[in-house]
Structure 1
């Protein structure tokens, strides 16, 4: 009879992914060893290998789980059947909420997917493209003329250019956070600079 998993298996696996994402984000994937991940988790190295066969598998799992959460968020939001402008605002709000709760995983997905093998890269980037398509479809409904001229996807990529790199300049604990930026991004993308409303909180 096969031995089942321990009751703590999923919790420990989640802990490993969380601590590894933090290390990869802070010091880089290439500079982080499995020894460092094991130490950060309070595990022995053999215990770490019980969950992940190598560092590549660990990186792939971080990226996979993050992009799957983004895809689930996007498809659930589309099911709300809101008017296009409201739907796009909701998508922007929800994806920034996801980024806020997974800042290390997002940085790893953005910067370190290049270290993965071709099959893992293709799978993860394919899922990213599905997320982009969810946004592009809404942009196309908001501006059918742009959709018909094949501009909805390039415009969507400009939107992601605004939101994907916030971690490079947003100060932890500063006057701006992801929740504050969500309506600003939506205003700027949908209405242009003149439509941006200054948030009530004082900017640092």
Structure 2
């Protein structure tokens, strides 16, 4: 009979991923050892290997876990069946709030994905593309004519530029909260998208 998992296994596993993400974000994946991860978690190295077979497994779980959570946010908002502008506004708010608690994992995803093998990297990038596509689809609904100019994806990436890098300058304990900044991002985008001048000639695919 297979031995069951000890109580608290999943909780300890999530703690390890959080500590590893923090170390990878600060020192880089290549600059962090399993000894350092174990020490940060208050575990022995053999105990750490009980949860993850190697440092690479930590990287895959951190990067893919982050994207999976973003996909879940997209699905939760989609299920609300909101009008297009409300839909995008809710996506913006939910993503900013998600990033508030996932700053380290997001940095790992953006900076250390190059260390993944081809199959793992492509699988995770495909999930990222689904997230971007969900935003792009709503933006096209808000301003349909951008479809002909092939500007939906560039506008989506500009929006992500505001959201993705907020963690590099916004202090969690500062006067500005993530909730307040989510409203600012939405206001900037909704105020700016009507003013975007589309290229006279469609952008070639």
TM-score, normalisation: structure 1: 0.90
Q: Secondary structure at the match of 1:192?
A: helix
Higher relative contact order (CA 8 A, sep 6+): 2
* Preserved CA contact (<8 Å) 1:107 1:167: no
- In the alignment, the residues of structure 1 paired with residue 63 and residue 90 of structure 2 have an alpha-carbon distance, to the nearest angstrom, of 23
Match in the other structure for 2:158: 158
Per-residue deviation, residues 23-42 of structure 1 (Å, max 9, x unmatched): 11122211110000001111
* Preserved CA contact (<8 Å) 1:21 1:62: yes
- 5 Å matches for 1:112-151? 112-151=112-151
Q: Where in structure 1 are there 5+ consecutive unaligned residues?
A: 196-204
* Preserved CA contact (<8 Å) 2:99 2:167: no
Structure 1 stretch 148-157 or stretch 180-189: which is displaced more?
A: 148-157
For the pair 1:171 / 2:171, whether they are aligned, the reply is yes
Match in the other structure for 1:56: 56
- In the alignment, the residues of structure 2 paired with residue 78 and residue 136 of structure 1 have an alpha-carbon distance, to the nearest angstrom, of 13
Match in the other structure for 2:31: 31
Aligned-pair CA distance for 1:147 = 2.2
- In the alignment, the residues of structure 2 paired with residue 50 and residue 148 of structure 1 have an alpha-carbon distance, to the nearest angstrom, of 53
- In the alignment, the residues of structure 2 paired with residue 77 and residue 47 of structure 1 have an alpha-carbon distance, to the nearest angstrom, of 39
* Preserved CA contact (<8 Å) 2:100 2:167: no
Aligned Cα RMSD in Å?
1.7
TM-score, normalisation: structure 2: 0.90
Q: Where in structure 2 are there 5+ consecutive unaligned residues?
A: 196-205
- 5 Å matches for 1:175-190? 175-190=175-190
